[in-house]
Amino acid sequence: MVLYLIGLGLGDEKDITVKGLEIVKSCHKVFLENYTSVLGISKENLELFYEREVCLADREVCESQAESIYACAKEQNIAFLVVGDPLCATTHSDIILRARSEGVQVRVIHNASVMGAVASCGLQLYNFGQTVSIPFFTDDWRPDSFYDKIKVNKQAGMHTLCLLDIKVKEPDFEQMARGKIVFLPPRFMSVSVAALQLLEVEAKRQEGICTPETMAVGLARLGQATEQIVAGRLRDLAVQDLGEPLHCLIVCGELHPLEMEMLRIFLLPPESNSTCNGDDCHGAS
């Protein structure tokens, strides 16, 4: 028996591979990982297309109760569905290791992910450095460790893909203190919020890595029909509304002439962005 980790791609229920779909339909039970990313469609759409019941696996299940997923695979084939590619989140590597330690056979069925789809903006994938995650700031928690990785990338001339925070099934601690189990509404960080947080960290660190003039790219709903990409200065992206989730952001490093030509397709209007007009994009810091 096998635990299958199956990538769903980025768009909708039809982005699953033919191999992945065949396996899903043959499995005894189907789980959908529901906290590192989300599809732009409902669970019901997946169930209708896959002709299988889908069980949502939130953060608690994936991290604290993962055994409930892979233990079943000792006797039956189990599908664990992941938005994008299964190996783009460390959570899934942990599940693989834990399952194999219990003697469970594991197979991975790959698919498109944000790590490759960001090339839609024209930046070349081999010019990217370390990927970073930007969490939501709170009143008393404003971490900035991601800034150091962006700095290392920039000093090497590399671009930085910033994955933006997702809050799904977060507990409402005020209500829980009153004895009620209540979860906050889902929240998804936008490009504008990410840009504002980067500018806030720059104002504190003042190392010239994420200045208001820094060239960046905002991407929303990659792989979907409503995909949107805009390029401009961080200060311009900080006031852009790219609509529904999911969003990600790229902080540009050195730009190859071909990358500059491609980025012009997505530039914000000249009146709001003069960073990459004409024949030179190097005015961005």
What's the CA gap between 253 and 285, in Å, rounded? 9
Task: Indicate the average pLDDT of the chain.
Answer: 90
Positive or negative: CA dihedral 254, 158, 225, 190 = negative
Q: Is the pLDDT of residue 284 over 60?
A: no
Average pLDDT over residues 17-37: 92
pLDDT by residue (tens digit) across 151-198? 999 999 999 999 999 988 777 677 677 777 777 788 999 999 999 999
Token duo for residue 174 = 């005020």
Residue 20: predicted pLDDT: 97
Residue 39: predicted pLDDT: 80
The pairing of beta strand 160-164 with beta strand 247-251: antiparallel
Share of the chain above pLDDT 90, in %: 74
Residue 272: predicted pLDDT: 52
Residue 188: predicted pLDDT: 95
Q: Is the pLDDT of residue 95 over 60?
A: yes
What's the CA gap between 195 and 212, in Å, rounded? 9
Q: How far is CA 235 from the centre of its chain?
A: 22
- pLDDT band at 65, cuts 50/70/90? confident
Average pLDDT over residues 59-80: 85
* Domains annotated on the chain, with CATH: 2-112 (3.40.1010.10), 115-266 (3.30.950.10)
What's the CA gap between 52 and 208, in Å, rounded? 52
Q: Is the pLDDT of residue 229 over 90?
A: yes
Q: Is the pLDDT of residue 280 over 60?
A: no
- pLDDT band at 209, cuts 50/70/90? very high
pLDDT by residue (tens digit) across 103-151? 999 999 999 999 999 999 999 999 999 999 999 999 999 999 999 999 9
Neighbour order of strands in the sheet with 215-220 = 132-134, 160-164, 247-251, 215-220, 228-233
pTM flag (> 0.95): no
| Range in 80-94, 151-165, 226-240 the model is least confident about | 80-94
